[in-house]
Amino acid sequence: MVLKERYTNLARTLEAMQIQIQDSLEYARYFTPRDETPRSLFHLLKQHTVYRHDPPGVELLQSMPTLMEDNYWGVPGAGDCDCFTIAAVACCAVEKIPVRIVLVGNGTHSPTHVYAEVLDQGRWVAFDLVAPFYGETKKYRYLSTIKVKPKF
């Protein structure tokens, strides 16, 4: 499923992301091998994702099956940070890896990036599929974490 709309506000985007995460859980069950560590799951997803900007003026939120098989660009795994976060949260949820969403930017009213964070060996670690390596992300002045609890 794809939600394609003009950006209205952050609350609506987060609500739409939660819908896409829920719609991604079944696909994530089949995509994700069992007993993955956060690091190995990151590398698996990293191999299957390709960064593409949203179309101008549109906030494109893709469920994991759409991202991987039938996305806007016609390239398997093509999406941006919010699409990658949806896939990461869904895969972590099926692996029972504690996960949350992180919004970052230069101000509280205008986040410019979103990514997942996972609890790995007792500490929260960036699971940012836009970054080249596990545990890394850019530094921003503003950071807010959002708890997610996908329902099976």
Whether residue 7 has pLDDT greater than 80:
no
In this prediction the pTM is: 0.92
Write out pLDDT tens, residues 25-61: 999 999 999 889 999 999 999 999 999 999 988 889 9
Q: Which long-range contacts (CB under 8 A, 24 or more apart) does 4-11 make?
A: 4/58, 4/59, 4/60, 4/61, 4/72, 5/58, 5/59, 6/57, 6/58, 6/59, 7/57, 7/58, 7/59, 10/103, 10/109, 10/111
Q: Which CATH number fits domain 2-147: 1.10.287, 3.30.310, 3.10.620, 3.90.550?
A: 3.10.620
Q: What is the pLDDT of residue 58?
A: 86
* Consecutive H or E run containing 66: helix 64-69
Write out pLDDT tens, residues 68-78: 999 999 999 99
* Annotated domain spans of the chain: 2-147
Write out pLDDT tens, residues 140-149: 999 999 998 7
